[in-house]
Amino acid sequence: MAEQLGEVESRIAAACVRAGRPRESVELIAVSKTFPAEAISEVAACGQVLFGESRLQEAEPKIAALPSSIRWHFIGGVQRNKVRKILPLFECIHAIDSLKLAGYVDQVAAELGLFPKVFLQVNVGGEASKGGFEPGEIREVMSSLLGLKRLQIQGLMTIPPAGPEAESARKWFVALRELRDQLQQEAGAALHQLSMGMSGDYEVAIEEGATLVRVGSAIFGNRAYRVDGELG
């Protein structure tokens, strides 16, 4: 895994050079879902401090077992009844996919005295199987989202339609970036971050402006089982 992390790191650095971006403009989330705390320890020992998990039940014992210096992002779908537990454990939530959920997270955050960082998930490909705001819908509700004072909206996140090669994802990454630019102009939203790119396409995502890439199997190896319906 140390070797695979090194490989991912050097590919990120090369993509930043190609895109004319400083290396510090992209952060790597090591997606550790399905892998045990020991594997996370091993990757953390190489200097990786940011990890991503997508299920609360699975993440809780791992977070408890590992040093508090490790930072955690919640990248999976958010169930209402898990919000109260997710908020204190994770520094950022990537998949806010409706105004209703955003409002609820805002309310719970107020009760807990927190100001959580969140991303708004956009279904750029319009796939029926995927969660997220439709691009037209997010433009309609953006000012309501900005009115939720507890939420620190970082930017947009997407999981593009699966394609045969990394290049297939480029147009979806461009679409997310352009939607972000549009929202910034129309709603005056400060959406500095783009969470996009996974093991198969993170280099393309960086070329198109990703500030956070979520990379699992390229670091940890193939997952033995699936976590949520759409992603292994």
Ligand X SMILES: *Cc1c(COP(=O)(O)O)cnc(C)c1O
CB-based closest residue to ligand X: 216
Q: Distance between CA 142 and CA 152 in Å, rounded?
A: 13
User: 3-state DSSP call for residue 29?
Assistant: strand
Of 73 and 177, nearer to ligand X (C-beta) is 73
Minimal distance, residue 143 CB to ligand X, in Å = 27
Q: Residue 200 Cβ, how far from ligand X at the closest point, in Å?
A: 6
Three-state DSSP at 78 gives coil
Nearer to ligand X by Cβ, of 97 and 150: the residue is 97
Please give the structure tokens belonging to residue 220: 């940890």
Taking the least distance from each CB to ligand X, the nearer of 70 and 119 is 119
Check if the beta carbon of residue 169 is closer than 8 Å to that of residue 159.
no
CA-CA-CA-CA torsion sign (145, 150, 152, 158): negative
Closest CA to 92 of 113, 118, 71: 118
CB of 61 to ligand X, least distance (A): 19
Report, in Å, the least distance between residue 186 CB and ligand X. Answer: 27
The smaller minimum CB distance to ligand X, of residues 108 and 220, is found at: 220
How far apart are the C-alpha atoms of 177 and 33, rounded to whole Å?
A: 27
| Shortest Å, Cβ 86 to ligand X | 14
Structure tokens at 89: 């454990």
Q: Which of residues 179 and 231 has its CB atom nearest to ligand X in the complex?
A: 231
Place of tokens 């809780």: 60
Residues at the site binding ligand X, with contacts judged by CB under 6 A:
31, 33, 54, 75-76, 159, 198-200, 214-218, 231
